[in-house]
Amino acid sequence: MPHAEMNAGAGVTGPSPWDQAVDRIRAGGLRWTPQRRTLIEVLREREGHVTATELIARCRERDQTTTPSTVYRTLDLLEDLGLVRHGHGHDGREEYHILPQEVHGHLYCVGCGTTWELRPETGAVIVEALASQLGFSVDLSHVTISGRCAGCHD
């Protein structure tokens, strides 16, 4: 998918936030379980956004016994830890943003169905326009804009 290029090189400082997740879970008196490990394995392979349904399916690939309720409960937990955030996609389904280290919105192409990231640099124009014109302060992470991407014009 023609996703936004991830930072090559300069990257994140220190260990992956997912590694810290184990400790942070334990630190809260919570337990590190096989089910949580499975979900986090799935999550750390992905960047961007996924639907809960997709996560459940991917977990089931690794562990046939995966249960939806456990996945949802674990996602709630991870959201409390700030490792994922949820919103709603263009079709109204729960959609999880993985590792939102950088707040971003989404662009959905009705032509090819691809979802693109709307980087803060680009989104800034929107944020500023609405702030100055209407006094409205945008939460970019909840923005999804539909339209047609460069490759899908009529």
- Tell me which stretch binds DNA (CB under 7 A): 62-70, 102-110, 131-139, 143-151: 62-70
Least distance from C-beta 75 to its own copies, angstroms? 15
| Of residues 31 and 153, the one with the C-beta less far from its own copies | 153
Given the complex with DNA, which of 35 and 114 has the nearer CB atom? Answer: 35
In this structure, what are the phi and psi dihedrals at residue 96, rounded to the nearest 5 degrees? -105, 135
Task: Answer for the pair 55, 68: CB distance below 8 angstroms, yes or no.
Answer: no
Q: How many CB atoms are closer than 10 A to CB 50?
A: 20
The site partner of 62 among DNA, its own copies, none (C-beta below 5 to 8 Å per kind) is: none
Q: Which one of the spans 13-21, 60-68, 76-84, 87-95 is the region binding its own copies (CB under 8 A)?
A: 87-95
Q: Is 29 in the site for DNA (CB under 7 A)?
A: yes
Q: Is 38 exposed, middle or buried (0-12, 13-18, 19+ CB in 10 A)?
A: buried
Name residue 35's amino acid.
Q
Q: How many CB atoms lie within 10 A of CB 149?
A: 15
The residue ranges that bind DNA (CB under 7 A) are 25-26, 29-36, 51-53, 65-70, 72-74, 76-77, 93-94
